[in-house]
Structure 1
Amino acid sequence: MRVLRNFLRPGWIALAIVVIAFAVACFWVLAPWQLGKNSRTEHQNDLIKRAESSQPVPIGDLYQDGRPVEDAEWSRVSVTGRYLPDKQAVVRLRSIEGSPAYEVLTPFAAESGDTYLVNRGYVKPVQGTALPPITPPPSEQVALVARIRAAEGTSPGREPRTEAGATQVYSIDPEVLGRAVDVPLAAGYLQLTDDQPGGLGVIDLPQLDSGPYLSYGLQWLAFGVMAPLGLGYFVWSEVKQRRAAKTGAPIPKKPRERGRRTREALAASSTGSVVHSEARGPIGSGPTSAPDDKLSDRYGR
């Protein structure tokens, strides 16, 4: 109990609280956060691989009640209909190969009666960040092949606005954009593939890279284990020192002190000299000899 009371001091209690809170955050917040990002990235990579190895299917096979079915993202679909260029919008603040760009969104009225939002690709500004002229889509009925993409959502304060004679948005959100252009749009959107009618600059598929999330998650788990172990080591060291002080036993020398004494002993053995002890008595307390005896020992009698 006396040992326990020694650790019921504010400093030790605060240290224990910090260590426990850090370990809890590692196991239940930080590690799951990184491991969850790794799982989502791996899932997206699997969807892209599956979509690349499959053929386009009619859009009705992957849409139900105006929404894409589960795990339909990145799948290629075919759809026939007409563009609605007067309802067109552009996405601001995009980057293509490190350069600023706009992505062009045009509603597409399908033969089935549904209207889908089509990302026709990108255009790059000619001067600064000014919106360049955009090639209009075909006016006749066309057949498209595109990839299903999930909506990005809209952040507060980032609603659509009209600028430079065009409706401009910060993200691709069919629900919000549909209200802005007064056209009900199906959920998600379609991203055109290569060589499609009305296509502009082709947006490439993302790289199949899992990222560092798995290693980060494992590191947080390791930190969560190391923190309590470190606290346990400090507690053990404190108890050991208190017991040594109570019994009067000498406290073990530090490794640095032991290393210094070992080096001195090795140096003495190699030169044949004597290692002097740290304990020194007062001046004149050591053995003495007469000067005659010293001279006779050196030069003979």
Structure 2
Amino acid sequence: MLVYRFLASPRWLGYAALTVAAATVMVLLGLWQLDRYHQRASINARITAGTSATPVPLTDAVPRPAGTPGTTGPAPHADTEWLRVRVTGQFDPSREILVRGRTVEGRVGFEVLTPLVLSDGTAVLVDRGWVPPAESGALAMPSVPPAPPGEQTILGRLRPSESRGGPPKEVNGRLEIRRITPSALAPSMPYPVYNAYISTDQPAPGLTAVAPEKQNALQNAGYVLQWWLLAILTLFGFAYLARKEARGPEPEDLLDDLADSPA
């Protein structure tokens, strides 16, 4: 083992530290991708289970908002995303909002967001479905089927608040937003609002259901293998160079040195 004494030299210790640091970073990146894989696989499992699961009451999945109008309650747990829920109330079409720039089956249009007011005075935002843009152009208002009157029981998938949302803006007589963020919309509403929304699976005629979109978990699994293989190759490369150094120059290298030396 004396031939490996060179590993204790400052130069090789530096090589070793750099190799271990690089391999450690790659292993950690692989663990991060593994966590992402489990998160996405869990979402996909909930989406699949929701197709046949019995809907649960909304209040079992999302904390009820306090009684202050214009505010939202606590956000639901991340594990409730895509859970199938049911809730009963009456639509408030006067507060209906169009969500622009939403794509369904390769077409960009609008999702129709209407508050459903519950018997206790709170409200939950219901995504009633998607409509295509008007034939006269994307800047024109689409034709939106009216929300049904009277008491309605809504079945749908629970969706968490989207990030970076802002208050609604009036465009051609209708309210519009880009992101569905209940906390940003609640101040413009006269009732407490749940901090989540429901994407209905029973759209009215003229509206298209917004189907759940499964995550590409296999891509993350591929990244896990990629990072961990790179970590192994990095360590193997260091071991290979150390072994080559310990063996000394190859015979052909000595012959080349002799040939290159001056006579």
Larger radius of gyration: 1
For the 8 Å contact 1:149–1:191, the answer to whether it is kept is yes
Q: Does 2:93 correspond to 1:85?
A: yes
Task: Give the number of the structure with larger relative contact order, counting CA–CA contacts within 8 Å between residues 6 or more apart.
Answer: 2
For 1:26, the equivalent position in structure 2 comes to 26
Amino acid at match of 2:32: W
CA RMSD of aligned residues (A): 2.9
Q: Does 2:237 correspond to 1:235?
A: no
For 1:51, the equivalent position in structure 2 comes to 50
> Cα–Cα, structure 1 residues 18 and 75, in superposed 2: closer, same or farther, change >3 Å?
same
> Cα–Cα, structure 1 residues 204 and 229, in superposed 2: closer, same or farther, change >3 Å?
same
Matches within 5 A, 1:10-21: 15-21=15-21
TM-score by length of 2: 0.77
Would you say how many aligned residue pairs link Structure 1 and Structure 2?
A: 239
The secondary structure found in structure 2 opposite 1:93 is: strand
For the 8 Å contact 1:160–1:167, the answer to whether it is kept is no
Where do 5+ consecutive residues of structure 1 fail to align? 245-250, 255-301
Q: Does 2:161 correspond to 1:151?
A: yes
Q: Distance in 2 between matches of 1:179 and 1:69?
A: 23
Amino acid at match of 1:144: I
For 1:121, the equivalent position in structure 2 comes to 129
For the 8 Å contact 1:109–1:115, the answer to whether it is kept is yes
The secondary structure found in structure 2 opposite 1:160 is: coil
> Cα–Cα, structure 1 residues 5 and 139, in superposed 2: closer, same or farther, change >3 Å?
closer
Where do 5+ consecutive residues of structure 2 fail to align? 66-74, 254-263
For the 8 Å contact 1:37–1:213, the answer to whether it is kept is yes
For 1:185, the equivalent position in structure 2 comes to 193
Amino acid at match of 1:89: I
- Percent identity, please: 28
Q: Deviations over 1:145-165 (max 9, x none)?
A: 2221222222xxx52341523
For the 8 Å contact 2:26–2:231, the answer to whether it is kept is yes
Q: Quick one: which of 215, 220, 223 aligns to 1:216?
A: 223
TM-superposed CA distance for 1:198, in Å, is 8.1
The secondary structure found in structure 2 opposite 1:189 is: strand
Q: Quick one: which of 111, 119, 129 aligns to 1:103?
A: 111
TM-score by length of 1: 0.69
